[in-house]
Amino acid sequence: MGDDGVPKYLRSNVIVEPLVDRFYAWLHTVAPVQASMNLAFLQLPLLESYLQSPQVHIAASNNPDLRGGYFIDIPEDRADEVAELTASIKRDRAGMLQFAAAVAVAEELVRHNATGFDLTPLYPKLPTALNGLVELAYDTSNQPSLHFLEPIVYHSLAFDSRRQSFQLSLDDGVERPFILSTPRLPGPDVLDLDLPLTHAGLGELTASRIRPVSPTRLREALELTDAQAVWLDRLLTDRPALSPDRHIESGGRIRYYGHACLVLQSAEATIVTDPFISTDNRRGDRFTLDDLPDHIDLVLITHGHQDHIVLETLLQLRGRVDKVVVPRSSRGNLPDPNIALYLRHLGLPAVEVDDFDEIPFPGGKVTATPFLGEHSDLDIRAKSTYWVDIAGKKVFVGADSSGIDPVLYRYIRGHLGRADMAFLGMECDGAPLTWLYGGLLTKPVSKKMSSSRKLSGSNAAQAGDIVVELGAGEAYVYAMGEESWQGHVMATTYNEDTYQLKQIDEFLSWCKERDITAEHLFNKRQWRW
């Protein structure tokens, strides 16, 4: 290692992969209720399936037609390590597994015994693992449900920060295995740190992107062994790679960083939406972490799907962000975890908003606006679009919201005026219900039912209705996982005949006929005024 006393910067292409029990950490694998369910009913059975037939999983992982499927992409000669991981989960996460089993029992109890009469007699029949953590309730149609007291569940056996760790590596442009299926094993090309994601050392490491720190200090902060400390030469560099034009001195600017990530700037403030940002700055075909301003006023999270609240990016921004704005959940509904609680337990400054709540920032404000659909018709409230007033522009950030009821956008325009620019998602043939929510379903659904309830945004007609109702003069469609650095999260494959792309082309033609400036975004784009 070089001179440990000379301050250095974190290299541009350092990846921080957050892990829980070696699986990629995201909302449904960290928030305790959903994490317990996914561990018991998805991840553990997946590991056991691999151990029964590693060759089947490896073959499926290499089949382009099965991209994004639940197959473990780990060579057969490492099956013993998968077996060790499986055994450790069964041994060390017994509390979580017991909690998940209790949820399944309780939901069955409620389905068969809550018939519109007094629910009090059911409480003594609940599994002991749920005592003090749930409430039973009816809606006004006498449909019963189980509600979780989420803040308390974070203090139960269902949540254990000792599950957490992170891997550091260098982005070489090679696609990583799919995050929902393949656990991350140790290897020569990664540095494993068995530390919680809130560990102060991780904050010091990521802060060194913009403020140099001595390797000696980092070694101490990260509690590195002698063998691990050798990695610092690979992670650090003498010079920062920060882009000289990352700030602006006047007017306004929007930069598209890929997928649903926008960076909206004025001379006074910076707003970032759904940050999912590449760490590979070698190609010049994208904006990366190097292009971000040093300080970010607000991060706006539209919803809890793994491609919109990307923890590996958020952890790199911790300490640089004033507030992470998230939509308020329905409080205790199984498929609708509280995003603010989740982020706060990871050391991020989250604040919740309801529809039409306003968050001011220097020289402007953000207004939360409603989000329709895209969640397989589940009762999920933690989703929001946003209206950003910045540097004289009114910008609608639509994410994956659907135009299934265009009158909604008429109300938005009535409340906030006419939009100058609208950014929309058009993944109009999304994955089925069970692809993302299967681990939470304690009552099986048929394949036909699952396929009818997709994670779909707007099609061409619905996107057109949104633009008309908002009065937008410009409309931009996000890329749908098409950017090369997003495969490990998105696992999408398109060709010229793909329905989604045809719908985007139809929408762009519709806009052209009406003199509406429109574009299908890809990789990078900039607007300046």
- pLDDT 10s digits, 286-338: 999 999 999 999 999 999 999 999 999 999 999 999 999 999 999 999 999 99
| Residues 206, 355 within the same domain | no
In a domain, 3, yes or no: no
Where residue 461 falls (left for φ over 0; alpha for ψ -120 to 50; beta otherwise) is alpha
Considering the domain architecture, whether residues 437 and 344 belong to the same structural domain is answered as yes
- Domain count within the chain: 3
Please list, in sequence order, all residues whose beta carbon lies within 8 angstroms of the beta carbon of residue 187, skipping any fewer than 6 positions away: none
Residue 136 and residue 19 share a domain: no
Per-residue b/e over 398-417, b at no fewer than 16 CB within 10 Å?
bbbbbbeebebbeebbeebe
Q: Transcribe 250-301 into DSSP letters.
A: SSEEEEEEETTEEEEEESS-EEEES---B---SSSSS-BGGGS-S-EEEEE-
Structure tokens at 250: 């006047």
Q: Is 201 exposed, middle or buried (0-12, 13-18, 19+ CB in 10 A)?
A: middle
Helix axis angle, 44-52 to 79-92, nearest 10°: 150
Whether residue 487 sits in one domain with residue 448:
yes
Residues 202 and 295 occupy one common structural domain: no
Distance, CA of 309 to CA of 342 (rounded, Å): 11
Range of the domain at 48: 9-93+160-237
Q: What is the pLDDT of residues 160-206, one digit of tens each?
A: 999 999 999 999 999 999 999 999 999 999 999 999 999 999 999 99
* Claim to verify: residue 405 and residue 302 sit in the same structural domain: yes
Residues 258 and 400 in one domain: yes
Cα-to-chain-centroid distance, residue 295: 21
**Residue 282: per-residue pLDDT:** 85
End-to-end CA distance of the chain: 47
Tokens in use for 123?
Answer: 């409480």
- Would you state the pLDDT for residue 378? 96
Strand order in the sheet with 270-273: 350-353, 321-327, 296-300, 270-273, 261-266, 252-258, 525-528
Q: Are strands 421-424 and 474-477 parallel, antiparallel or unpaired?
A: parallel
| Model pLDDT for residues 472-509, shown as the tens digit of each residue | 999 999 998 899 999 999 998 888 889 999 999 999 99
- 3-state secondary structure (DSSP) of residue 310: coil
Q: Which residues pair with 165 in a beta bridge?
A: 19
* CB 346, CB 237: distance < 8 Å: no
The CATH number that applies at residue 318 is 3.60.15.10
392 occurs within a structural domain: yes
pLDDT exceeds 70 at position 1: no
Q: Using CA atoms, how far apart are residues 508 and 204, in angstroms rounded to an integer? A: 45
Whether residue 396 is found in the same domain as residue 499: yes
Indicate whether 178 and 280 sit together in one domain.
no
217, 285: one domain: no
Would 265 be classed as within a structural domain? yes
Do 360 and 432 lie in one domain? The reply is yes
Q: What is the pLDDT of residue 254?
A: 98
User: Do residues 360 and 452 share a domain?
Assistant: yes
What is the residue type of 144? P
Q: Which one of 105, 132, 153 terminates a domain?
A: 153
Report the distance separating Cα 138 and Cα 146, nearest Å: 9
Confidence band for 3, pLDDT divided at 50, 70 and 90: low
Using a 10 angstrom Cβ sphere, with 0-12 exposed, 13-18 middle and 19 or more buried, the burial of residue 52 is exposed
Helix (H, G, I), strand (E, B) or coil at 510: helix
φ and ψ at 165, to 5 degrees?
A: -160, 180
Do residues 422 and 471 make contact, with C-beta atoms less than 8 angstroms apart? no
Close Cβ partners of 444 (under 8 Å, ≥ 6 residues apart): none
Quick check: is 401 in a domain? Answer: yes
With respect to residue 245, please indicate whether it lies within any of the assigned structural domains: no
Cα angle at 181 between 177 and 184, to 5 degrees? 55
Average pLDDT over residues 22-39: 98
Confidence at 447, pLDDT banded by 50, 70, 90: very high
